[in-house]
Amino acid sequence: MGTETQDIIQLDNILVRYGKLRALDGVSVRCGPGPIGLLGPNGAGKSTLLKTVLGFLLPNGGSGRVLGYDIVKNPLDIRLRVGYMSEDDSYVHGLNAVNFVTYAGELTGMARSDAMQRAHEVINYAGVGELRYRNVESFSTGQKQRIKLAQALIHDPKLLFLDEPTNGLDPKGRQEMLDLIKDISTHKGINLVLSSHLLPDVEYVCSQVIMINKGKIIAHGSIEKLLETQKHQYDIRFKGPWQNFGEALKRLNCSLKHTIDDTYRASLPPGEKPGFFFKLARESGVQIRHLALSKPTLENVFLALVGEEENADL
């Protein structure tokens, strides 16, 4: 039986190995209700984490609960209460859309008549109602993504897992999918986990985020609070030996990181105003050609945490 909990996901020191590789290395996290972003580069452990909480992979260590159910002891109880949109195509060859989604409902225990009625509803909601009697293998990439979302919603889940839902979509289709996901969270009241390597997607949809890299959680919390860590960051372009400027910042426990082209991002020392940079530049023998306050984004937060800029911190 599940237990009453405010945390929809609770993981404690989860370890998952593929041979010698630690795909998840001591993952501990607690997530409250709402839309949650799961962020990380390809191969970071996102899909492994989803498969573990769904009970498809048994952890080599640690414990976890989803919706109050133990991920090892009660995986079927979890899967009956969650929807899952996989990254890979997962339709049944030869079935039209309405029969495929109906079948997904029957797998959760729904009577066929109820599943069929509900299938029409969610197919319409996903925006592919006119394709309901076409075989899914004939769909375009965007249409397949929408029908995968429909099958994940068929049984009115308490929690929805979406694994790279905008993969392969053109900009218009990507925005339409994100708007649909946002509506599910905002107006349908369904908790969701959006797994993506596209940080703007998560920033658009979610209120909280889990950042993972090389199998470890590197940050977790509300997006608003994480973005606050990037306040007082400035984008700068130089003429002259910028390394001297970076060394001077380092002595003040501040950072200078290369971002793109000839632009660097610098942190302003506490209590200082932007004019500080010009004073330091004169002392370092460089000329500042451009100085602008950097807009905080999840991408900036993530890059600062994993250190994947082209140049390491000075």
Regarding whether 212 and 89 lie in a shared domain, the answer is yes
Task: Give the Cα separation of 190 and 183 in Å (integer).
Answer: 9
* Residue 304 belongs to some domain of the structure: no
Regarding whether 212 and 144 lie in a shared domain, the answer is yes
The three-state secondary structure class of 2 is coil
CATH number at residue 81: 3.40.50.300
Regarding whether 119 and 30 lie in a shared domain, the answer is yes
At residue 185, does pLDDT exceed 60? Answer: yes
At residue 303, does pLDDT exceed 90? Answer: no
Domain span holding position 84: 9-223
The string of DSSP letters for 214-278 reads: TTEEEEEEEHHHHHHTTTTEEEEEEES-HHHHHHHHHHTT--EEE-STT-EEEEPPTT--THHHH
Regarding whether 213 and 114 lie in a shared domain, the answer is yes
pTM above 0.75, yes or no: yes
| Token pair in block for residue 126 | 């996903």
What digits encode the pLDDT tens for the residues 90-145?
Answer: 888 899 999 999 999 999 999 999 999 999 999 999 999 999 999 999 999 999 99
Range name among 85-99, 141-155, 211-225, 299-313 with the lowest pLDDT average:
299-313
Regarding whether 80 and 173 lie in a shared domain, the answer is yes
Mean pLDDT of the chain: 89
Distance set, CA 21 to CA 47, 66, 160, 191, 309 (Å): 15, 25, 28, 31, 25
CATH number at residue 279: 3.30.70
Give percent of the chain above pLDDT 70. Answer: 96
- Which residue among 223, 248, 277 closes a domain? 223
Regarding whether 243 and 106 lie in a shared domain, the answer is no
CA-nearest of 188, 159, 156 to 32 is: 159
* Residue 79 belongs to some domain of the structure: yes
CA-nearest of 142, 7, 112 to 68 is: 7
**211, 305 Cβ separation under 8 angstroms:** yes
**180, 187 Cβ separation under 8 angstroms:** no
Regarding whether 273 and 138 lie in a shared domain, the answer is no
Helix H or strand E encompassing 62: strand 61-66
Regarding whether 152 and 71 lie in a shared domain, the answer is yes
Regarding whether 135 and 38 lie in a shared domain, the answer is yes
Regarding whether 114 and 74 lie in a shared domain, the answer is yes
* Residue 16 belongs to some domain of the structure: yes
CA-based angle 220:221:225, to the nearest 5? Answer: 125
The pLDDT value given to residue 307: 60
At residue 309, does pLDDT exceed 60? Answer: no
Regarding whether 141 and 29 lie in a shared domain, the answer is yes
* Residue 306 belongs to some domain of the structure: no
Question: What angle do the packed helices 275-284 and 242-251 form, to 10 degrees?
Answer: 120
Total tally of structural domains belonging to the chain: 2
| Token pair in block for residue 59 | 């952890």
* Residue 310 belongs to some domain of the structure: no
Please give the single-letter amino acid code of residue 124: N
What digits encode the pLDDT tens for the residues 205-215?
Answer: 999 999 999 99
